Chain A
Amino acid sequence: MNLSSEEEAMLEGEAGTVSKTAIEHQIKVGDFFGAHDFVSVTQAHIMADTESLGQAGVMWLEKLADAGDGRVRIPTITDPRGTDFENADILGHADWMLELERRAITALQRLGVTMTDTCINYQTVQAATRGEHVAFGDTGVVIYSNSVCGARSNFEGGPSALAAGLTGRVPRYGYHLDAIRQASIRLRLHWTPRELSEWGALGGVVGRLTGNYWQVPVIEGLDRFPGSDELKHFGAAMASFGSTPLFHLVGITPEAYSLAAVGGDKLSVAHHIGEAEVRALSESYGVGTAVDVVVFSAPQLSLFELRDLAALSLGRHFKRPLLAVTSPQVKPDCDRLGYTATIEAAGGNVLSGNCFYQSYAREMSETKGWKRLATNSAKLVNILGGYGYLPMLASMRACVDAAESGELK
């Protein structure tokens, strides 16, 4: 890679051992992908829950912080934590999990990281703007920021997002380049979803069709302009099922003001997608009717989703645990507006600052006896099978009904 004098100085350790460690890591990655140089970034977002980090990852962070000669140079924020400290008993979290989380938080704070603990920072902290180069972790954050906002980011795993925060730059490859952002597969829709669960399922269908990180779908045929929560579920599921960082919706997302603007006019339609394909994906997760737990998470809920959930919960009495997970930025408003009280009066819980699958999902299942899980998140059903759950995908209303009756109908 071609390095500027500032980057050469970092590599030589003149800016401290922390910056040196960070840029060495980035050069390894940049060399792998054939990056010619670095590009400056304005924000970083780090996924660093301790179920992923483990003891080894936390010790790696602590060693970096102990060096004491480097802190982040740009606003650097965090993805959800592995617990909600105030509700850890509801999740069955053991003391060692909480202690590990505290150690990770302390290390990140010593490196100058701002603990926002959210995977919906584009709704709650600061959305990136068109053309802005950023270093975001959490695939849902990246795909929304790239596609809906027009920003530029690769999937940055925790170590690389932190490195970006510490150096203020990333290797210029992948989705920082114009050519990579052009469409590579053209899809035509013949049905527009209504429920958030349907938007997620549609994202899952598209993700399966695109298949890998380097495929960029351009999609035609929606009969209306979707809202932020709809595109949140659509993108998060697409990224989860397909490892897809960018999509274009013709006439809707900023880089696809026309089909030709993203090169879609040079592609023939590869697949037609209708209601049947979306229903098939949802029904592939229909493993029965009995439900142990109902979860709304992945991504964290917006204020509007919580408003809708509160309205559906009003006057109910849940037989099964119902967990709704949001960000620390949304939770105070949820409390202030009475949504939390309504949901909790029905027997549910509103959690903050974590995400279900990032919160020791396997241990929760074993401790709490949760196996058959109902959710409206297509991303969550895609993830949880590997953690030993039997996840089921349904609308928010059907999930709330299941919490009340114990059965998903």
Chain B
Amino acid sequence: MNSLVNAYVAQHAMGSRIVGQALVAHDGFSARYDLNRLSGVFSRPTHKLSGQSYVNKVLVLDTAKGGVATAWMLYEMRARNMAPAAIVLNSINSILVQGAALGDVAILASFEVDITSKISHGSFVEVDPQARTIRLLAPHELVISNEPTDGSRPIYGP
């Protein structure tokens, strides 16, 4: 954790600042293996987020899994406004980075802590790739975040 309150610093980062609601699990991520991209939910029955919508959420998960298809699928989901807002992982693979580069999805990876144990499921967070941080937002910050003035994307969720 850095000097910012409730902020965690990643070793690797890419993309634009985003604020949104976190979907958290100590499980893997593969767009091909884990998602129903038509309905926008985790569809692998054994996934800890099975049945939950990932659309416009900040996914906080353990590791990138599976095959190469995620590289195309992030771009395809983004084109239909059915992509996650950001992906935050303890451990990443080359595919997710390549897909995020094409699909313009914010990503953070590699922390000194298990990031899935530090971010609460359903909490609201700021992902700032320039600062390489994910930060838990206090309730009073949510209103401000709904009206971005710096070109970042607005908050998603309730």
Chain A residues near B (Cβ < 8 Å): 25, 28-29, 32-33, 47-49, 52-57, 60, 137-139, 154-160, 174, 211-214, 239-240, 242-243, 357-358, 362, 382-383, 385-388
Contact = CB atoms under 8 A, between A and B. Distances in A.
B91 A213 contact: yes
A52 B73 contact: yes
Interface of B: 12-14, 28, 30, 32-36, 38, 43-47, 63-73, 75-76, 78-80, 91-95, 97-99, 101-102
A15 B28 CA distance: 40
Contacts of B70: 157
Given A54-B79, A212-B93, A28 B68 contact: no
Contact of A159 (B12, B13, B98): B98
Given A25-B102, A32-B12, A386-B32, A155 B93 contact: yes
Nearest to B35: A386
Interface SS of chain B: helix, strand, loop or mixed?
mixed
B16 to A, nearest CB: 13
Max chain B CB contacts within 10 Å: which of A25, A137, A212, A382? A212
Contact of B64 (A29, A137, A158, A212): A212
Which of A48, A55, A160, A382 has most chain B Cβ within 10 Å?
Answer: A160
Contacts of A53: 72, 76
A214 B44 CA distance: 24
Q: Which of B36, B47, B76 has the most CB of A within 10 A?
A: B76
Nearest to A49: B69
B101 A137 contact: no
Contact of A155 (B72, B91, B94): B94
Contacts of B68: 47, 137-139, 155-158
Contacts of A383: 32-33, 66-67
14 contacts: A25-B102, A47-B68, A47-B72, A53-B72, A57-B75, A137-B68, A138-B67, A160-B98, A213-B91, A213-B94, A243-B30, A382-B66, A385-B44, A387-B43
A383 B70 CA distance: 13
Q: Mostly helix, strand, loop or mixed at chain A's interface? A: helix
B98 A29 contact: yes
Contact of B66 (A54, A159, A160, A243): A243
B34 A386 contact: yes
A362 B32 CA distance: 11
Which residue of B30, B46, B97 has the most chain A CB atoms within 10 A of its CB atom? B97
Contacts of B69: 47, 49, 52, 157, 358
Contacts of B99: 157, 159
Given A156-B98, A157-B98, A240-B66, A52 B72 contact: yes
- 10 smallest A-B Cβ distances: which pairs? A157-B71, A56-B79, A213-B93, A54-B76, A386-B44, A212-B91, A52-B72, A28-B101, A160-B98, A52-B69
B115 to A, nearest CB: 14
Contacts of B72: 47-48, 52-54, 57, 157-159
A25 B101 CA distance: 7
A158 B97 CA distance: 12
Contacts of B98: 25, 29, 156-157, 159-160
A25 to B, nearest CB: 6
A385 B63 CA distance: 19
Nearest to A28: B101
A148 to B, nearest CB: 19
Contacts of A385: 33, 44-46
B130 to A, nearest CB: 13
A159 B65 contact: no
Greatest chain A CB density within 10 A among B36, B43, B67 is at B67
A10 B72 CA distance: 24
A155 B98 CA distance: 10
Contacts of B94: 29, 33, 154-157, 160, 174, 213
Nearest to B33: A386
A330 B17 CA distance: 49
A33 B46 CA distance: 31
A387 B47 CA distance: 13
A240 B36 CA distance: 18
Q: Which of B14, B38, B47, B73 has the most CB of A within 10 A?
A: B73
Nearest to B69: A52
